[in-house]
Each structure stands twice: as C-alpha cells, then as structure tokens.
Chains A and B, each alone.
Chain A
C-alpha cells in the first residue's frame, strides 16, 4: 500500500507549515459554513485535519490505483474513430476512482457539492495525480473550468453546471487556441453571433484543445463584429452536441492518456458568461492563471516521479564495484535535481498561498462590503500573484524538464529504452513549459513586476523570518544579490532600449527567482533542520547562476540586436 502524500516529506512539511489560516477562515466565512454543511470545518485545525485526511486518500488512490495503470495508459492512449474520442479503459477507471473519492469539485463551494478547499490543497492533489500519471492530471485539472463558472457565471449557470461537475458527471474543456492564434490569443476569430431572440451561437475552429471531447466547454469567441483585438472577445459556455464536431486528435510526443482535439463549431448553441468584451481580458486571464498554477503542479509531479526513479536506480546500479550514486559525478547531479525539485515546490506553494489570499479578498471586494483596507489587500495580492504565477510556471516546468533529462542520463542507455519510466517522464514533461503559455511568455508576464519591484515587500518579509547564524549568513549573501538586482533593473530601464529589455527579461526574471526561492528555502530550513543542507546547496548554486546572468545584463552588449540575422542566416 503506497501513499503519494505520506511518502513525500516535502509535501507533508508544506501542508503543515504553509499558513493558510487567513484565507481558509475567509473561505469558510469565519467557520459559519459548518452550521449549514455537515463536514465543513469548525476551525482552522479542523480544516487542516480535513485537508490532511483527504490528501491522504488522494495519495493512496494515486499510488495504488493510478500509478500502476500509467504505463498501459501511455502505451495505448486516447483513440479517435468516426468522430468519437475514446479514452483508455484505465483512464476511465482512474476518473471513476477520483469521482468516488469525492475530489472532482475540490474548490467548488459547499452549496454546489464541492469541498470548498483552497487552491493550495487542490494543487497538492494535482501534483500527486500527476506524479502517478501526468496525462490524467490534464483531465483532473480541468476542474478549473467549473471554478471559472463558479467565480464568473450567473446563479442559473452555477446551479446548472456546478453540482454535476462536483460529482464528476461533467468534465470540461477550455477552448481558446485556434490554428492561427496560439500565444496570440487577442486575435482569436471563432465567431459568436446572436439570433433575433438573443440566443448565442458559435461558429469556427479551435485547435489543440485538451479534452476537447468534454461535456462542457468554455469557449473564447469574437462577439463584437468588426473588432480584431482582445476587447472584442467574450466567453461562452457550450455543451457537447452534434454541431460541435471533433475533427481529429493529435498524435503527441507525451501525455498520451488525454486527447488533444481539433474542434469545429457549426452554429453551436452557447451561453454568455459574465459581460461581453471581458472574455479574454478578465475571465480567460483568470482561467489561464489558474491553469498555469495547475501546470506548474503537473511539472512538479512529473519531476518528483522522475527524481525518485533516478535516485532509486543510482542506488541499485553497480559499476566499477560500487553503486553509481557513490560517484561525485552522479551524486552532484542527484543533489542538483533535488534542489531544483524542492525549489520548485517551495515557489509553487508560496504562489498558491498568495493566490488563495487574492481569491478571498477578490471575493469580498466583488460580492461583499469591503473595508478600504480589504480593497488595498486585494490589489496587493493581485499584484504579487500576477508576478509569482508566471515565475512559478517558468521555474517548475523548466526544472521538471531538466530533472527528467538528468533522470535519463543517470539511467544511461537503459533510460533511453521504453522498458523504464524515465523516457515517459521526459516526454510528458516536455509540454509543460509550452502549453498554458510558453516560458518565453511567462517571462513577458513576469517582467513588469520585476521592473516595478512588486515582490520587494514579500522578499523582505520572508528574509525577516530567517534566523540562526548559518542561515543568516546565507541570507545576507542573497540580500546582497537583491541590491545587485535593483542595480540591474535600473540599468536595463535606463537604456530605454525595448529590444535589450526584452532580451534581458528572462535573465532578470530568473535572477529574481533565485533570490526569492533561496529565501523561502532558508526560511523552511529554520523550521526543519533536515532541510537546511538543501537550502544551503540551492543558495550556493544560485549565487553563481545569478552572477552569470548579472554579468550578462550589465554588459549592455547590444550587438545581437544588430547582427542576429547574420548569425541566424549564415
């Protein structure tokens, strides 16, 4: 009997030490929900106990049911014939098990049959499911669709859809990208039109739609004729119907268990969600930010699985009369992988914690009678979440790729073979830094906050929690880097060269990440001594990585802007 929750010290530590009391208190309306809904927590300790118990169930389902099926699922994958997508029977069984465990509406409010859990706890589930079978997370993680209806839909829409999402009867898809509009979503062309009675219909194509065979679709469509930008787009709910045709499914490198569909909308009846023209700028941005956190968790889950395989293999494989993990070349690789994994998880749950706070304050401002202070807090957490989410996705997904890459390397030739899981993790990880916005786009989303120093308050807060001689010495080194970061940001801004700014953006975002994550890890090392060596290693590696980037930024070398064609076209 395995358990992907209790066998993961880092995850157990995270739940115990991630202080969710403020957001959970607000989410549970000061624990008054317990009077109306049996099982709703009566205080924070009770809520935490619920989280732990439910995470343990999902950990067991992931370890004992989903993981043993994952190889078969990858081998067979989703099938398509005569316009119908069929999932592998084991994928269907996985979804049935998760529905039986009652975790298909994790974040939905109690009144719609949800668990009313915070994003942080839901994210831990997605991480575990992904460790078991990354492709299943793509279907499990589409709970974000229901969450979006819950936040932006009207009461009738919520009544109609949410209870059936909560039981697992409905699954969802978010239909955003089109053949010609991937990263460039403001250009989306799928047309929404109204008949004389005001009923909406959708017409056009969507491409690369994860689980496009779903019952319920959230569709980004152009409702304002004659427009060509983001402000002409609205969001609609459409249901599976004969007019909504799956044309084909993609033959992918990884995540074989889930179908990626090309959809044709032939006047599909639809319902408008929220206000017209707010489709992309408000609702889809919110949906995508949620999905970015989910994909970060997917990446961390794959990285966890890969790292464990690498560690196990290295401890069993003997060469030159010794297991290979005794060799510096291998143990330095393994420790670097572990540092990346722990760093990713630290930033992931710091991000979800802030996202949870943003959500509860947004809810009060949008639906309650907020105090001026609460309005301020909403704005603050919005800003921090807007910077952390893309930083987090960039770090987690790039790290997962590096970890999966090294896992194959540690396996040697064996890792290249289909007999081992290593190559599957590598293939599955490869999409995470592409979909829901490539790393390059995450940098675009994060750089504004880096330039405007949105994270400085939080950086100083975390730094203030670090105590103990050794940790403080390392903290001081990071705080010295923060001064250099300010200098680098000022330097890039002062050049007033947009191309140089864009070219250096990734360096600046990664430099910011090194400082912030280093501090998070040092703080956690104070709480648990066993973590201190990981923190120290991360910081020492990080300083070198930072300085290399710093030198590049400060060089002011603009030659590439002038001569990139000469290089590329040679």
Chain B
C-alpha cells in the first residue's frame, strides 16, 4: 500500500514583479493588477512530493483553498505529475486569517482520512506569515517538521528529513503522519508535455458552470458535462466547507480573530549616498555601523 501525500498549494498575486498600480488608493492589494501565480515555495513542496513519488511510489494529492480561479494551480500541479486535485471553495471560507485557514485545511485532511504526509510551502508571498503549515499540524496533533530542504528517508512508519536552521542544518526523524513545511531548496520541475495534453481540459464544477467568456450553463448542462469529464478522469473535485465538515463559526471572516487595524502606505525616499573607503578600517567602520543599527546580526 503506497503512502499518501497531500500537498497544500496556493494561488497568490505575483508580489515579486510589482508594478506601479499594485496597491489601490485605499492601501489594499490590487489583485487585478497582479498576475496570479503558483506560490513559489508551494512549488518546492510539490516538487518534494513528486520526488517521493519517484523514489517511493507515493500517491500525490494536491489541494488548494481559494476562489474557483485557483483551479489553475491545480492544473499546473497535474501538469507536473500530481495524481489527484481538490479545490476547496466556498463563499463561507472567504476572508480567512491563518487560524481560520488552517482550520479549514485541517478539516480537509481529516476528510481525506488516510494521509501519511502533509506538505506545505514554508510561506506564501502574499502574507509571508509561515503560520498556516504549523497551525494545521497543531490542529491535527501531528508532528511538524519545518524549513525542510529534503527528505532523507521514508520507511513504513517514519520519515527522516534535513531541515535548515540558522547557520546549518538538522536531520530530524518523526513518526507519520506528519506535516512538513518546505523551503526553496529544490528546483521545481517544468510542466510535462504529456500531462499538459492530457489534463488541459480538466475543470472543476464551478468552471464548467461558468466557462470563461461564454454564457453560463444550466444546472442540467453542468451536471452532464461534469459527468462526461469525470468519465474521462478530467473532473477536478470541488469541495465546500460543509463537504469537509467545517464548523461555520470557525471558517472565513467569522472564524478569523485577526483584524486589520490600519494600513500604511509607506513611501520610501532615498537618502544621500555614503562613501566608504575601500580599506580595512573603512570596512570595519561600515560593519560596526550596520551591526549597531541592527541591519546585520
């Protein structure tokens, strides 16, 4: 019986290539102006899972919580070699902070039941909290191995990983099930031509109901088309909050104690350049200055 690995991924606005209109006048992120991309470290998590598939024959499920459009990162996962894809989408889930998100995702893990490993990227580039992975592990009461670089070994009951720590690394061994958060330590594979051709028409029910640029389908048409795709193995599963038995008061806005108090639009102004003499003494002085204003150390 092969081990089951679940990878949580997220579609995020591309904050790495910011343009001038990235922020709205109100100081929130202008999602329309930023292209939606696969969160980079989630790609590292997926890569790690696919390497486990090659090494140990594990079964890889990819799941994401998000708007219907987030199905795009699920297809991108199928193109790279994931075996199964699930979209967790529901209006009730919107506005979630890390507490509500990790709760909903932990419900997703419970619903799947027999998961041996949960993989997450360390953090998403839109929030940079790095909290969701560890919080899922806490809610499931399973070991968490964070900042994982690679999996050293996987046997029937335990996993051994190498993780980054400040100034070095640690080798950790944990019983399974366990949760890993993965850092940018591998080179995510490109999408595969065969998989692209095979899965390019994979759709969720929401996508079937509202095809891009066309008139929405009737519920009957949607059901018929969904059944057709399912027969072809091209229906991406779509779950609601109720499907994963999530308590309504713990998800979405209602389940999120974090409130944004204020957003500041910081305008950086460049100050004068400072010349440092290219001598031992000059560099020493610079280092001391950087340490004393906490830029270094």
Which residues of A pack against B, CB within 8 Å? 38-41, 49-50, 53-54, 57, 60-61, 65, 93, 97, 100-103, 113, 115
Q: How far is the CA of A102 from the CA of B187 in the complex (A)?
A: 17
Q: Mark B186-219, 1 if CB is under 8 A from A, else 0.
A: 0101111111111010000000000000000000
Q: Which residues on B sit within 8 Å (CB–CB) of A38?
A: 197-198, 232-233
Partner of A57, one of B187, B196, B198: B196
A61 & B190 in contact (Cβ 8 Å cutoff): yes
Closest Cβ–Cβ distance, residue B44 to chain A (whole Å): 15
What secondary structure prevails in chain B residues at the interface with A? loop
Closest Cβ–Cβ distance, residue B48 to chain A (whole Å): 15
Closest Cβ–Cβ distance, residue B105 to chain A (whole Å): 28
Closest Cβ–Cβ distance, residue A125 to chain B (whole Å): 10
Q: Mark B177-190, 1 if CB is under 8 A from A, else 0.
A: 00000000001011
B192 & A102 in contact (Cβ 8 Å cutoff): yes
Which residues B224-259 have CB closer than 8 A to chain A? 232-233
Identify the closest chain A residue to B79 (Cβ): A57
Closest Cβ–Cβ distance, residue A162 to chain B (whole Å): 15
B193 & A101 in contact (Cβ 8 Å cutoff): yes
Q: How far is the CA of A48 from the CA of B280 in the complex (A)?
A: 62
Given contacts A97-B190, A101-B190, is CB(A53)–CB(B198) below 8 Å?
no
23 interchain pairs (CB within 8 A)?
Answer: A38-B197, A38-B198, A38-B232, A38-B233, A39-B194, A39-B195, A39-B197, A50-B196, A53-B196, A53-B197, A54-B193, A54-B196, A54-B197, A57-B190, A57-B191, A93-B187, A97-B189, A97-B190, A101-B189, A102-B194, A102-B195, A115-B194, A115-B197
Closest Cβ–Cβ distance, residue A382 to chain B (whole Å): 30
Q: How far is the CA of A286 from the CA of B176 in the complex (A)?
A: 57
Given contacts A39-B198, A49-B200, is CB(A102)–CB(B189) below 8 Å?
no
Identify the closest chain A residue to B190 (Cβ): A101
Q: How far is the CA of A60 from the CA of B196 in the complex (A)?
A: 14
Q: Which residues on B sit within 8 Å (CB–CB) of A50?
A: 196-197, 200
Q: How far is the CA of A100 from the CA of B81 in the complex (A)?
A: 10
Which residues B158-176 have CB closer than 8 A to chain A? none
Q: How far is the CA of A14 from the CA of B263 in the complex (A)?
A: 49
Partner of A101, one of B192, B197, B198, B200: B192
Q: How far is the CA of A567 from the CA of B189 in the complex (A)?
A: 60
Q: How far is the CA of A314 from the CA of B262 in the complex (A)?
A: 49
Closest Cβ–Cβ distance, residue A138 to chain B (whole Å): 21
Closest Cβ–Cβ distance, residue B19 to chain A (whole Å): 14
Identify the closest chain A residue to B197 (Cβ): A39
Q: How far is the CA of A115 from the CA of B197 in the complex (A)?
A: 9
What secondary structure prevails in chain A residues at the interface with B? helix
| Closest A-B pairs by Cβ, 5 of them | A39-B197, A102-B193, A39-B198, A102-B192, A100-B189
Q: Which residues on B sit within 8 Å (CB–CB) of A61?
A: 190
Closest Cβ–Cβ distance, residue A61 to chain B (whole Å): 5
Q: How far is the CA of A54 from the CA of B200 in the complex (A)?
A: 11
Closest Cβ–Cβ distance, residue A152 to chain B (whole Å): 25
Identify the closest chain A residue to B192 (Cβ): A102
Q: Which residues on A sit within 8 Å (CB–CB) of B200?
A: 49-50, 53
Closest Cβ–Cβ distance, residue B202 to chain A (whole Å): 11
Closest Cβ–Cβ distance, residue A466 to chain B (whole Å): 35
Identify the closest chain A residue to B199 (Cβ): A39
Q: Which residues on A sit within 8 Å (CB–CB) of B233?
A: 38
Q: Which residues on A sit within 8 Å (CB–CB) of B232?
A: 38
B190 & A115 in contact (Cβ 8 Å cutoff): no
Q: How far is the CA of A41 from the CA of B232 in the complex (A)?
A: 14
Supply 16 further A-B pairs (C-beta < 8 A) apart from A100-B192, A102-B194.
A38-B232, A39-B194, A39-B195, A39-B196, A39-B197, A39-B198, A40-B197, A53-B197, A54-B193, A57-B191, A93-B187, A97-B190, A101-B189, A101-B190, A103-B193, A113-B194
The CB with the most chain A CB atoms within 10 A, among B187, B190, B193, B195, is that of B193
Q: How far is the CA of A102 from the CA of B191 in the complex (A)?
A: 8
Q: How far is the CA of A39 from the CA of B78 in the complex (A)?
A: 13
Closest Cβ–Cβ distance, residue A232 to chain B (whole Å): 41
Q: Which residues on B sit within 8 Å (CB–CB) of A101?
A: 189-193
Identify the closest chain B residue to A39 (Cβ): B197
Q: Which residues on A sit within 8 Å (CB–CB) of B197?
A: 38-41, 50, 53-54, 115
Identify the closest chain B residue to A65 (Cβ): B190
Q: How far is the CA of A61 from the CA of B190 in the complex (A)?
A: 7
Q: How far is the CA of A49 from the CA of B197 in the complex (A)?
A: 9
Closest Cβ–Cβ distance, residue A3 to chain B (whole Å): 12
The CB with the most chain B CB atoms within 10 A, among A39, A60, A103, is that of A39
Q: Which residues on A sit within 8 Å (CB–CB) of B194?
A: 39, 102, 113, 115
Closest Cβ–Cβ distance, residue B14 to chain A (whole Å): 9
Closest Cβ–Cβ distance, residue B201 to chain A (whole Å): 9
Q: Which residues on A sit within 8 Å (CB–CB) of B192?
A: 100-102
Identify the closest chain A residue to B81 (Cβ): A100
Q: How far is the CA of A49 from the CA of B232 in the complex (A)?
A: 19
Q: Which residues on B sit within 8 Å (CB–CB) of A100?
A: 189-190, 192
Closest Cβ–Cβ distance, residue A192 to chain B (whole Å): 37
Closest Cβ–Cβ distance, residue A406 to chain B (whole Å): 34
The CB with the most chain A CB atoms within 10 A, among B189, B190, B191, is that of B190
Q: How far is the CA of A284 from the CA of B153 in the complex (A)?
A: 48
Identify the closest chain B residue to A40 (Cβ): B197
Q: Which residues on A sit within 8 Å (CB–CB) of B195?
A: 39, 102
Q: How far is the CA of A49 from the CA of B201 in the complex (A)?
A: 11
Closest Cβ–Cβ distance, residue A19 to chain B (whole Å): 21
Q: Mark B110-125, 1 if CB is under 8 A from A, else 0.
A: 0000000000000000
Q: How far is the CA of A237 from the CA of B194 in the complex (A)?
A: 28
B193 & A60 in contact (Cβ 8 Å cutoff): no
Q: Which residues on B sit within 8 Å (CB–CB) of A97?
A: 189-190
Closest Cβ–Cβ distance, residue A544 to chain B (whole Å): 45
Closest Cβ–Cβ distance, residue B43 to chain A (whole Å): 13
Closest Cβ–Cβ distance, residue B123 to chain A (whole Å): 20
Q: How far is the CA of A57 from the CA of B189 in the complex (A)?
A: 11
Q: How far is the CA of A53 from the CA of B194 in the complex (A)?
A: 11
